């Protein structure tokens, strides 16, 4: 299999407002294959959101190479190869739910008929078919985030970047959203790159969990998650689920050690 996203020796430094240089990311190497579900996990300030934004060409790397769909990240963005879901739903207040989902389609000059059809289809997919004409403020946080996922998928991109999309939701809603997301990932075969703070979320969703260490952001460990699929509520009760969680936790805890590479056994 060929890598759909390939990152080599990627480094990002920027100058903080107080003048000194911050090493946000240091020598990152990562290959992501078609159809994978990759979680980026790490403590605050480890640069996981920065890495995601570099892949999406919203931020430029300082050095290193990066290819998305076999082209530069900039070209992939111009070709609308990916959808991006932000931490807050980022819906436009002045648009109804359906019109929000249609926003990328308007920008990409789809016909009105196709826009309406796709918005209906996508809202159905995230089970918000009855809320087309509501405004964002009339929805709960979880529903808003589902609209934002529908919007990101409306133009059928092959890649979905998600920046802590469920971070602001309560535990119950978050678990339900995890199931929804897995269903969508299964049905559409998109490649997901998912930034999160939550260990159970990362383990539950991913094919691989990428653990990042902070200051400078380094790739500490990549953990394969070979839990059986399809996954559901019962997955969370498996012994392997707990083992993998403690492996991730161990990798994260190992970051506190001076060499940054020590991993606790379980």
Residues that bind other proteins (CB under 8 A): 53, 56, 58, 77-78, 80, 82-84, 86-88, 90, 92-95, 103-104, 106-108, 127, 134-135, 137-140, 142-143, 173, 176
Residue 114 CB, nearest distance to other proteins (Å)? 16
The smaller minimum CB distance to other proteins, of residues 144 and 207, is found at 144
Q: Is 157 helix (H, G, I), strand (E, B) or coil?
A: coil
Residue 140 CB, nearest distance to other proteins (Å)? 5
Start-to-end C-alpha separation, the chain: 32
Residue 57 CB, nearest distance to other proteins (Å)? 8
Residue 118 CB, nearest distance to other proteins (Å)? 14
The smaller minimum CB distance to other proteins, of residues 3 and 59, is found at 59
| Structure letter (DSSP) for residue 217 | B
The span from the CA of 188 to the CA of 174, in Å, is: 21
Residue 186 CB, nearest distance to other proteins (Å)? 17
Residue 50 CB, nearest distance to other proteins (Å)? 13
Going by C-alpha positions, the residue among 90, 65, 84, 81 that lies closest to residue 7 is 65
The smaller minimum CB distance to other proteins, of residues 159 and 202, is found at 159
Token pair in block for residue 129? 């078919």
C-alpha torsion angle, residues 212, 40, 199, 196 (rounded to 10): 120
The smaller minimum CB distance to other proteins, of residues 134 and 215, is found at 134
The span from the CA of 221 to the CA of 80, in Å, is: 30
Q: Please give the distance of CA 176 from its chain centroid, rounded to a whole number.
A: 17
The smaller minimum CB distance to other proteins, of residues 13 and 134, is found at 134
The span from the CA of 15 to the CA of 23, in Å, is: 9
The smaller minimum CB distance to other proteins, of residues 58 and 222, is found at 58
Token pair in block for residue 233? 């509520």
Please provide the size of the chain in residues: 266
The span from the CA of 114 to the CA of 102, in Å, is: 10
Which residue(s) pair with 39 in the sheet?
A: 194, 209
Residue 238 CB, nearest distance to other proteins (Å)? 25
The span from the CA of 266 to the CA of 242, in Å, is: 10
The span from the CA of 195 to the CA of 181, in Å, is: 14
The smaller minimum CB distance to other proteins, of residues 56 and 210, is found at 56
């Amino acid at each position: 299999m060929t890598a759909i996203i390939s990152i080599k020796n990627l480094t990002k430094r920027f100058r903080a407002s107080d003048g000194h240089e911050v090493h946000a990311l240091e020598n990152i190497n990562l290959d992501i294959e078609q159809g994978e579900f990759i979680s980026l996990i790490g403590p605050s300030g480890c640069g996981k959101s920065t890495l995601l934004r570099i892949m999406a060409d919203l931020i430029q790397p300082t050095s290193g190479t990066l290819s998305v769909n076999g082209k530069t990240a900039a070209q992939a963005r111009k070709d609308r190869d990916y959808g991006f879901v932000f931490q807050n739903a980022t819906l436009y207040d002045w648009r109804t739910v359906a019109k929000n989902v249609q926003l990328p389609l308007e920008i990409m000059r789809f016909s009105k008929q196709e826009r309406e059809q796709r918005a209906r289809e996508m809202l159905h997919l995230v089970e918000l078919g009855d809320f087309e004409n509501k405004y964002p403020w009339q929805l709960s946080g979880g529903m808003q985030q589902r609209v934002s996922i529908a919007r990101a998928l409306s133009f059928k991109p092959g890649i979905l970047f998600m920046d802590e999309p469920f971070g602001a939701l309560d535990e119950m809603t978050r678990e339900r959203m995890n199931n929804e997301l897995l269903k969508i990932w299964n049905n559409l075969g998109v490649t997901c790159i998912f930034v999160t703070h939550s260990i159970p979320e990362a383990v539950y969703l991913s094919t691989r969990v990428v653990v990042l260490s902070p200051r400078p952001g380094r790739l500490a460990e990549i953990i394969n998650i070979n839990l059986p699929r399809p996954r559901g509520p019962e997955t969370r009760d498996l012994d392997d689920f707990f083992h993998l969680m403690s492996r991730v936790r161990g990798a994260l805890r190992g970051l506190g050690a001076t060499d940054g590479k020590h991993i606790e056994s379980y």
